[in-house]
């Protein structure tokens, strides 16, 4: 008769010990939710609500000159895709993407390999200097390059090339559509390369040194090491750089606007969205173009994740 209460006391002891832990865990969870709530609210207001509103508006006849926002199905999408200006903006964006990503990847790998070979304060100083162009806002960068590319003698590039007798007369670098896209994309690459360098440098830091040591034992030279070890294992970092280049090219607006304005031969998808909404006052077209741009970005992301971003076995 007396053993039974003792057993009951022992069975209560674990629960009495775990109860404070459970209460503490619940308080921590509530505190975490409370701390996350402001950020979640900001994201909902600034991202989710505009995104949902854009999708809804893309299926409406949404014009400032017509207060009747009637549902018109996919008519906005059909009109935007059939618009020659939008088609030209897609071609322009593709041109920016190709030039920007090629420049960022080639120059970024070279600089990242150089930084990877440095150590200590020298590496910190070099990395700080390289990152500076990334900190310059797009509008400021556009104004800076507009002075450099000035078609008169005041332009730094024209003055330099003419003093070296490489050109006979001053060149209007931005007047020719194809050359203008290449020049503008080069200025964008100047701003985007530092981020690419950081991503590629992080990828290099993640490659085990044992692989290079083993390759030296096998008789591999520097070029063989780069093609067989460095480049394959940099695929995840390169995928991120490519994806960042796609997003940057689709959303490119400020530098193009500062350098050439809203010229149809140079405007991007983001610029065409601006023209639909604030020149034509047709927000339905603008919403449809933004949804199309989002779908293009998502498709590119899926392709990169499937083909390039793969797990590597060491």
pLDDT digits (tens, 9 = 90+) for 157-182: 888 888 888 888 888 888 888 888 99
Q: Helix, strand, or coil here: 155?
A: coil
Helix, strand, coil content of the chain in percent (nearest 5): 75, 0, 20
* pLDDT for res 235: 85
In a domain, 84, yes or no: yes
Instruction: Note whether 31 and 109 are same-domain residues.
Output: no
Instruction: Note whether 41 and 151 are same-domain residues.
Output: no
Q: How many CB atoms lie within 10 A of CB 187?
A: 22
In a domain, 215, yes or no: yes
- How confident is the model over 37-60, as pLDDT tens digits? 888 888 888 888 888 888 998 898
Instruction: Note whether 140 and 216 are same-domain residues.
Output: yes
**Among residues of the chain, what percentage have pLDDT more than 90?**
25
pLDDT at 102 over 50: yes
In a domain, 62, yes or no: no
Task: Report residue 2's pLDDT band, with 50, 70 and 90 as the boundaries.
Answer: very low
Cβ(138)–Cβ(132) below 8 Å: no
Residue 264 host element (H or E): none
Instruction: Note whether 105 and 247 are same-domain residues.
Output: yes
Q: How many CB atoms lie within 10 A of CB 113?
A: 14
Q: Output the DSSP codes for 111-127.
A: HHHHHHT--HHHHHHHH
In a domain, 58, yes or no: no
Instruction: Note whether 250 and 108 are same-domain residues.
Output: yes
Q: Helix, strand, or coil here: 172?
A: coil
CA distance 276 to 290: 11
Q: Helix, strand, or coil here: 4?
A: helix
Rg of the chain over all Cα atoms, to the nearest angstrom: 28
How many domains are contained in the chain? Answer: 2
In a domain, 8, yes or no: no
The mean per-residue pLDDT over the stretch 64-92 comes to 88
Instruction: Note whether 39 and 160 are same-domain residues.
Output: no
Instruction: Note whether 252 and 188 are same-domain residues.
Output: yes
Q: Which residues, 6+ apart, have CB-to-CB distance to 173 below 8 Å?
A: 149, 151, 157, 179, 180, 183
CA distance 90 to 268: 7
Instruction: Note whether 30 and 143 are same-domain residues.
Output: no
In a domain, 107, yes or no: yes
Instruction: Note whether 91 and 194 are same-domain residues.
Output: yes
In a domain, 194, yes or no: yes
* pLDDT for res 118: 83
DSSP 8-class letter at 282: B
Task: Check which CATH number belongs to the domain holding 142 and give it.
Answer: 1.10.3720.10
* pLDDT for res 1: 44
Instruction: Note whether 290 and 228 are same-domain residues.
Output: yes
Q: At what angle do helices 84-116 and 235-250 cross, to 10 degrees?
A: 140
Mark residue 261 as left, alpha or beta (left: phi above 0; alpha: psi -120 to 50; beta: remaining): left
Q: What range defines the domain where residue 41 resides?
A: 19-47
pLDDT at 13 over 60: no
Better pLDDT: 248 or 10: 248
The overall average pLDDT reported for the chain is 84
Instruction: Note whether 248 and 183 are same-domain residues.
Output: yes
* pLDDT for res 308: 64
Q: What is the pTM of this model?
A: 0.79
**Among residues of the chain, what percentage have pLDDT more than 70?**
91
Q: Helix, strand, or coil here: 251?
A: coil
Instruction: Note whether 168 and 42 are same-domain residues.
Output: no
Q: What angle do CA 282, 68, 57 make, to 5 degrees?
A: 50
* pLDDT for res 19: 64
In a domain, 273, yes or no: yes
């Amino acid at each position: 008769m007396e053993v039974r209460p003792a057993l009951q006391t022992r069975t209560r002891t674990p629960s009495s010990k775990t109860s404070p832990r459970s209460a503490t865990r619940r308080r921590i969870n509530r505190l975490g939710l409370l701390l996350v709530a402001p950020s979640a609210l900001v994201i909902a207001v600034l991202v989710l609500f505009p995104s949902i509103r854009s999708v809804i508006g893309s299926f409406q006849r949404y014009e400032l000159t017509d207060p009747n926002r009637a549902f018109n199905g996919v008519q906005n999408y059909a009109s935007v895709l059939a618009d020659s200006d939008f088609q030209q903006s897609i071609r322009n964006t593709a041109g920016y993407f190709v030039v920007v990503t090629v420049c960022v990847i080639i120059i970024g790998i070279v600089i990242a390999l150089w930084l990877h070979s440095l150590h200590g304060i020298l590496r910190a100083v070099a990395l700080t200097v390289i990152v500076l162009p990334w900190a310059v806002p797009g509008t400021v960068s556009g104004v800076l390059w507009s002075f450099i590319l000035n078609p008169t003698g005041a332009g730094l590039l024209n003055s330099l090339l003419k003093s070296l007798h490489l050109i006979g007369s001053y060149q209007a670098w931005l007047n020719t559509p194809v050359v203008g896209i290449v020049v503008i994309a080069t200025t964008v690459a100047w701003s985007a390369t530092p981020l690419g360098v950081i991503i590629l440098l992080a990828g290099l830091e993640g490659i085990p040194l044992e692989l290079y040591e083993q390759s030296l034992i096998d008789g591999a030279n520097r070029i063989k090491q780069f093609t067989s070890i460095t480049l394959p294992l940099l695929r995840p970092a390169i995928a991120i750089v490519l994806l960042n280049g796609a997003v940057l090219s689709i959303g490119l607006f400020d530098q193009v606007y500062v350098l050439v304005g809203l010229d149809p031969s140079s405007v991007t998808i983001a610029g065409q969205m601006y023209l639909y909404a604030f020149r034509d006052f047709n927000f339905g077209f603008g919403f449809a173009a933004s949804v199309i741009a989002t779908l293009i970005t998502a498709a590119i992301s899926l392709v990169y994740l499937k083909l390039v971003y793969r797990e590597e076995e060491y």
